[in-house]
Each structure stands twice: as C-alpha cells, then as structure tokens.
Amino acid sequence: MAYKILKKEEIAPSVHRMIVNAPDVAKAAKAGQFIILRINEKGERIPLTIADFEKDKGEITVIFQEMGKTTKQLAKLSEGEFLEDFVGPLGTPADIRKLGTVILVGGGVGVAPIYPQAKAYTRAGNRVISIIGARNKDLLILEDEMRNASSELYIATDDGSKGHHGFVTDIMKRILDSGDKIARVVIIGPPIMMKVGTEVASPYDVEILVSLNSIMVDGTGMCGGCRVTVDGKTKFTCVDGPEFDARKVDFVELMNRLAMYRNEETKAVEKYEEECRCGLH
C-alpha cells in the first residue's frame, strides 16, 4: 500500500514537518520509536524518528532536515502525494514512567524526538522541565508545542537571538546546581551536544539518557551500520535502542562512525543536484 502525505510544511530553513496517513503505525506508536520510509521502489530506506502520532486519526508526524540525497528528494514532495513504504513503529520505546522531575534537552532537529517524550512524561504525572536550543532563533522548532507539553520551557541560542545566549547545557547545569531533586535527564541532539551534555550532568546524582537515532541506517539490525559501544559491549542502535544510558556510551567511536561515509554522502548529493539542474528529476 502507498502512504499519503496529508500535510507538509517548512517549519525552519530546510527543516520540514510531514504528516502521513499510516493507521497501523499510528495505532502501535510510542514515544522514542521511529519509522523507515522509502519514497519509491528504487529509493533509499531512511529512518526518521516519530515526532508525533494521532492514534484515532491514523496519522504519523515526522520532522526532517535536508541533509542527504533522500531528504532533499523528500522535501520536494507535496501534500497529496504518496510514499512507497512507511514501516514501523521500530525501536524500543522510551522508558516513560512517573519519576518526579525530569529534564528534557533538545538541540536543533533533536527537539522533534524530545516533543513526544515531553507529552508522555507529562501524561505519566511528571514535572517536565524542557530546554530547547538552536544556532539562532530562526532555526528553533516546536517552541509552542514544547511549551504546551512541558511544566517549564527554557530556550537557548548560540548567538543570543532568543532566550539564553549560549548552550542548552548552560541552562541544564544551572537547574542541576539549584538543588532541585532531578530524577532523570534526557538529551537528544547532535552527537557532540549529547557528549558535552553527558559530561556536564555526570557529576550529579541523576540518571542520564541519550537517543542515538542519528547513527541509524537500515533500522532493522541487518546492516550493522548503527553499531555503538555501550558499557564496553557492542549494541545495535535500531533494535537495542535508540535510547541508552549516556554515561556508558562511547561517544568518540560514535562520532567517528558517523563520519565514515561523509564523502559518499556528499557525492550522492552533488550527483542528485546536478541531475536536478539537468532536468532529470
């Protein structure tokens, strides 16, 4: 079956929100899970975190940034068009339960997977302190949605154009220093942000979780491209995660693996853009 694109909008420069009709996926979806989509029968399979879901309506929301060839192709699709494949929900759901006070930290497009967790932690009876950030105010996403889903919302921008002038980790440290009893910190964003955030939070008596969705390729455990070392053991992000104990993640290895195929990805984008200029797409 094909999956209809019900709504599509650009919510920040090169960042798009897409709502897809996928009743079976929506019925089973939980915060922290992802889907695998394919644009057409010759297309690449790419994983995207579920940013929202409406079980009654049968709708799944994904948010993606134009980075590689397939996300650039995806950005060209319009409402009313169809996707060939939309498989899920995949991955282990986030461990959501009543804990007390939880800090959720989202950086850049990492705010998208933080949003369903904010809603779920709130529904479970937690006090949810959310911190979201981006390089500048124009790149911030889901600000209103995060405010509605959280007990408190803080904003940080690298250039100071909105909220705290600095990093999300600055605000996180300030809250941890305040003496409030924090049960858990969840950090999702670029690997370097998750690494630094883990280092900042590690001295405190708090559980720290990160979501390593950025390294997934195949999404089913078959390709092995998402291998990460956690507590000295090899794990597959797509089936064992994507959520892990941050203190046990080998972030250096993670970032090195993410850089492995950068040249091939760049060449694929260049070829695609050249074909677009020539009218082949």
223 is in an annotated binding site: yes
Is residue 166 packed enough to be buried (19+ CB in 10 Å), middle (13-18) or exposed (0-12)? Answer: middle
Who contacts 180 (Cβ-Cβ below 8 Å, separation ≥6)?
A: 101
Closest CA to 118 of 148, 150, 141: 150
65 is in an annotated binding site: yes
63 is in an annotated binding site: yes
82 is in an annotated binding site: no
Closest CA to 244 of 256, 262, 232, 260: 232
64 is in an annotated binding site: yes
Are 185 and 208 contacting, i.e. CB atoms less than 8 angstroms apart? yes
Element (H, E) at 229: strand 227-230
Distances (CA, A) of 135 to 52, 146, 235: 24, 18, 31
33 is in an annotated binding site: no
Are 213 and 31 contacting, i.e. CB atoms less than 8 angstroms apart? no
Alpha helices in 129-185 (DSSP H): 143-149, 168-177
Q: Which residues are annotated as a binding site for [2Fe-2S] cluster?
A: 223, 226, 238
Q: Which residues are annotated as a binding site for FAD?
A: 63-65
Q: Which residues are annotated as a binding site?
A: 63-65, 223, 226, 238
